[in-house]
Amino acid sequence: MNQSQHSPGAVSDSRQPASTTVAERLPLSALLALAMTGFIAILTETLPAGLLPQLGRGLDISQALAGQLVSAYALGSLVAAIPLITLTAGWRRKPLLLLAIGGFLLFNSITALSSSYPLTLLARFLAGVAAGLAWGLLAGHARRMVAAPLQGRAMAIAMVGTPLALSLGVPAGTWLGALVGWRMAFGLMSGLTLILAVWVLRKVPDFPGRAAERRLGIRQVFAIPGVRPVLLVILLWVLAHNILYTYIAPFLAPAGMSTSVDRILLVFGASALLGIWIVGLLIDRWLRALVLLSLGGFALASLALGFGGTQPAVVHAGVAVWGLIFGGAATLLQTASADAAGEGADLAQSMIVTVWNLAIAGGGVFGGLLLETAGVGAFPWVLLGLLAAALLCAGMARTHGFRAEPRQVRAD
Is 329 inside any structural domain? yes
Of 299, 171, 175, 187, give the one whose Cα is nearest residue 237.
Answer: 299
Residue 15 DSSP code? T
Same structural domain, 93 and 143: yes
Is 15 inside any structural domain? no
Same structural domain, 272 and 209: no
Q: Are 54 and 179 in contact (CB under 8 A)?
A: no
* Residue 3 CB neighbours (<10 A): 14
Of 211, 22, 214, 207, give the one whose Cα is nearest residue 96.
Answer: 207
Mean pLDDT of 303-330: 92
Mean pLDDT of 108-133: 94
Same structural domain, 382 and 280: yes
Most confident region among 59-63, 88-92, 232-236, 267-271 by mean pLDDT: 232-236
Mean pLDDT of 274-286: 86
Same structural domain, 206 and 224: no
R_g of the chain, CA atoms, integer Å: 21
Predicted confidence band at 6 (pLDDT cuts at 50, 70, 90)? very low
Is 379 inside any structural domain? yes
Which residue stretches of 328-405 are H helix? 329-341, 345-373, 379-396
Of 333, 409, 278, 364, give the one whose Cα is nearest residue 135.
Answer: 333
Residue 251 has, within 13 A of its CA and on its CB side, a CA count of: 26
* Helix or strand (DSSP H, E) at 275: helix 261-308
Give the integer Cα–Cα distance in Å for 59 and 301. Answer: 41
pLDDT, tens digit, 9 for 90 and up, residues 352-366: 888 888 887 788 788
Mean pLDDT of 371-376: 87
**How far does CA 355 lie from the centroid of its chain?**
11
- Sequence-separated (6 or more) residues with CB below 8 Å from residue 21: none
Is 22 inside any structural domain? no
Residue 406's pLDDT is what? 66
Same structural domain, 229 and 153: no
* Helix or strand (DSSP H, E) at 153: helix 151-158
Q: 199, 214, 229 — which closes off a domain?
A: 214
**Number of domains making up the chain:** 2
Is 363 inside any structural domain? yes
Is 33 inside any structural domain? yes
Residue 36's pLDDT is what? 95
- Sequence-separated (6 or more) residues with CB below 8 Å from residue 229: 393, 394, 396, 397, 400, 401, 402
Of 103, 124, 4, give the one whose Cα is nearest residue 61.
Answer: 124
- Specify the CATH number for the domain of residue 343: 1.20.1250.20
Is 14 inside any structural domain? no
Residue 115's pLDDT is what? 92
Of 230, 240, 221, 223, give the one whose Cα is nearest residue 397.
Answer: 230
pLDDT at 144 over 60: yes
pLDDT at 154 over 60: yes
pLDDT, tens digit, 9 for 90 and up, residues 157-192: 888 887 778 766 666 776 777 788 889 999 999 999
Same structural domain, 76 and 167: yes
Mean pLDDT of 86-113: 93
Q: Which domain holds residue 396?
A: 218-406
Would you call 193 exposed, middle or buried from its count of C-beta atoms within 10 A (0-12, 13-18, 19+)?
buried
Same structural domain, 204 and 239: no
Q: What percent of the chain has pLDDT over 90?
A: 35
Q: 186, 214, 242 — which closes off a domain?
A: 214
* SS3 category, 3: strand
* Helices 117-144, 151-158: inter-axial angle, 10-degree rounding: 160
Is 7 inside any structural domain? no
pLDDT, tens digit, 9 for 90 and up, residues 37-75: 999 998 898 888 767 778 888 999 887 788 788 778 888
Q: Are 208 and 18 in contact (CB under 8 A)?
A: yes
Give the integer Cα–Cα distance in Å for 15 and 1. Answer: 11
Same structural domain, 155 and 178: yes
Same structural domain, 314 and 252: yes
Residue 411's pLDDT is what? 47
Q: 214, 243, 262 — which closes off a domain?
A: 214
Same structural domain, 203 and 233: no
pLDDT at 335 over 90: no
pLDDT at 13 over 50: no
Predicted confidence band at 11 (pLDDT cuts at 50, 70, 90)? very low
Same structural domain, 261 and 328: yes
Predicted confidence band at 24 (pLDDT cuts at 50, 70, 90)? low
Would you call 133 exposed, middle or buried from its count of C-beta atoms within 10 A (0-12, 13-18, 19+)?
buried
Same structural domain, 52 and 177: yes
